[in-house]
């Protein structure tokens, strides 16, 4: 609306300026100045829109193709901007796909974009390349990709900051999650950049630093591995029939934090599938870690949609439960 009015105003001034030849010299000069003033004002207004001000959604519910380049490296990513985004601070969830997957596949399987529309959340999906890993796995076991502001951990953090710069993001509500290799990479990123993320979600993944070589990664996936705890609240999902990443890794993620067990409870999804949910407290006694064991589920996103790969529609709904956990754990202070 404002753009249309300003353009109409400038066009009117231009028409007046074009007719000024028949007018006295002083009035001709005045109209010329007015035209230049209008042109300059419009240019400044457009520059402000293109500057550092947070952008509003290009149109309701758009799945945008973006790219990041910085000292750690470069990657493409997809960004979902929900229709309800209006330039006011909203949460951001960074989602890391698993091996052989793409951002589009992962978004379809988890249904995170559907949730983003209902909750008004920005969702970023960094994309691994075949050049970096033939199977499009995140290289979570490589020391050069685990540390702060280096390699893939640095790229993912860089993408997070890029979205926070371009859009209005509540810095207290920035979260990272992933599945399998993406879950292990998410744990690495949260451990390396705890000031950036308020909470972590890991599905069918491993601890931060669970391996530092490819043979070590294979052993950890097969037999279970230990690592360091990400120093942010963490929710873990793992199927107890997972033959790709040993369920011991989910337990290791939950216990690495060293928190006190608050309670353990059994539950049943609407499909009849059962699960066990354990809650652990942090040093201050606050609930900080959840560990979900999905009985009968394999290497798949619990409650996911069959449009995506590696999903188990029988539930429970990991996407909804992760978001519930994230909402309960904004950054303190």
| pLDDT of amino acid 255 | 87
CA distance 178 to 182: 4
Interior angle at CA 173, CA 228 and CA 164, nearest 5? 100
| Residue 174 and residue 197 in contact, taking contact as beta carbons nearer than 8 Å | yes
Give me the helix-helix angle, 248-256 and 214-223, nearest 10°.
100
Q: How confident is the model at residue 11 (pLDDT cuts 50, 70, 90)?
A: low
Q: Which residues of 210-222 are buried (b: 16+ CB within 10 A; e: fewer)?
A: bbeeeeebeebbe
Question: Distance between the two ends of the chain, CA-based, in angstroms?
Answer: 40
Helix (H, G, I), strand (E, B) or coil at 130: coil
Nearest to 278 by CA among 295, 292, 294: 292
- Domain boundaries of the chain, sorted by first residue: 2-50, 62-328
CA distance 296 to 275: 9
In this predicted model, what pLDDT tens digit does every residue of 112-157 receive, in sequence order?
999 999 999 999 999 999 999 999 999 999 999 999 988 999 999 9
| Residue 288 and residue 282 in contact, taking contact as beta carbons nearer than 8 Å | yes
| pLDDT of amino acid 232 | 94
CB within 8 Å of 274: residues ≥ 6 apart: 266, 267, 268, 295, 296
* β pairing state of 122-126 and 90-96: parallel
Q: Which residues are paired to 171 by β-bridges? A: none
Percent of the chain with pLDDT over 70: 82
Other Cβ atoms within 10 Å of 235 Cβ, number: 28
Other Cβ atoms within 10 Å of 203 Cβ, number: 31
Q: How confident is the model at residue 170 (pLDDT cuts 50, 70, 90)?
A: very high
Q: How confident is the model at residue 34 (pLDDT cuts 50, 70, 90)?
A: very low
CATH code for residues 62-328: 3.40.50.1820
Nearest to 154 by CA among 136, 137, 139, 167: 139
Q: How far is CA 266 from CA 238, 273, 278, 289, 295, in A?
A: 15, 11, 9, 16, 10
Q: Which residues are paired to 73 by β-bridges? A: 70
Interior angle at CA 285, CA 282 and CA 289, nearest 5? 40
CA distance 163 to 79: 8
Other Cβ atoms within 10 Å of 8 Cβ, number: 10
CA distance 167 to 169: 6
The pLDDT of 255-269, averaged and rounded, is 89
Percent of the chain with pLDDT over 90: 73
């Amino acid at each position: 609306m404002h753009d249309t009015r300003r353009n109409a105003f400038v066009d009117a001034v231009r028409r007046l300026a074009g007719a000024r030849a028949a007018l006295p010299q002083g009035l001709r000069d005045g109209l010329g100045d007015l035209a230049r003033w209008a042109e300059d004002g419009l240019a400044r207004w457009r520059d402000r829109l293109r500057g550092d001000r947070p952008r509003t959604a290009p149109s309701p519910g758009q799945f945008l193709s973006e790219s990041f380049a910085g000292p750690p490296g470069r990657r493409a990513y997809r960004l979902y901007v929900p229709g309800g985004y209006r330039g006011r601070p909203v949460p951001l969830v960074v989602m890391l796909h698993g091996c052989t997957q793409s951002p589009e596949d992962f978004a379809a399987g988890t249904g995170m974009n559907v949730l983003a529309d209902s909750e008004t959340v920005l969702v970023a999906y960094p994309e691994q390349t075949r050049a970096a890993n033939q199977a499009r796995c995140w290289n979570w076991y490589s020391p050069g990709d685990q540390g702060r502001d280096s390699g893939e951990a640095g790229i993912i953090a860089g993408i997070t900051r890029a979205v926070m710069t371009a859009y209005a993001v509540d810095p207290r509500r920035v979260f990272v999650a992933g599945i399998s290799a993406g879950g292990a990479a998410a744990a690495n990123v949260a451990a390396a950049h705890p000031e950036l993320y308020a909470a972590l979600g890991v599905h069918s993944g491993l601890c931060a630093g669970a391996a530092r070589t490819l043979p070590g990664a294979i052993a950890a996936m097969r037999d279970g591995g230990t690592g360091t705890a990400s120093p942010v609240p963490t929710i873990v999902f793992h199927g107890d029939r997972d033959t790709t990443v040993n369920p011991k890794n989910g337990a290791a993620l939950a216990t690495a934090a060293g928190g006190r067990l608050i309670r353990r409870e059994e539950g049943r999804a609407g499909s009849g599938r059962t699960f066990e949910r354990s809650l652990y407290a942090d040093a201050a006694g606050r609930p900080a870690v959840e560990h979900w064991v999905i009985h009968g589920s394999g290497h798949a996103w619990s409650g996911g949609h069959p449009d995506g790969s590696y999903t188990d529609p029988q539930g429970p709904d990991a996407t909804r439960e992760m978001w519930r956990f994230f909402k309960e754990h904004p950054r303190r202070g």
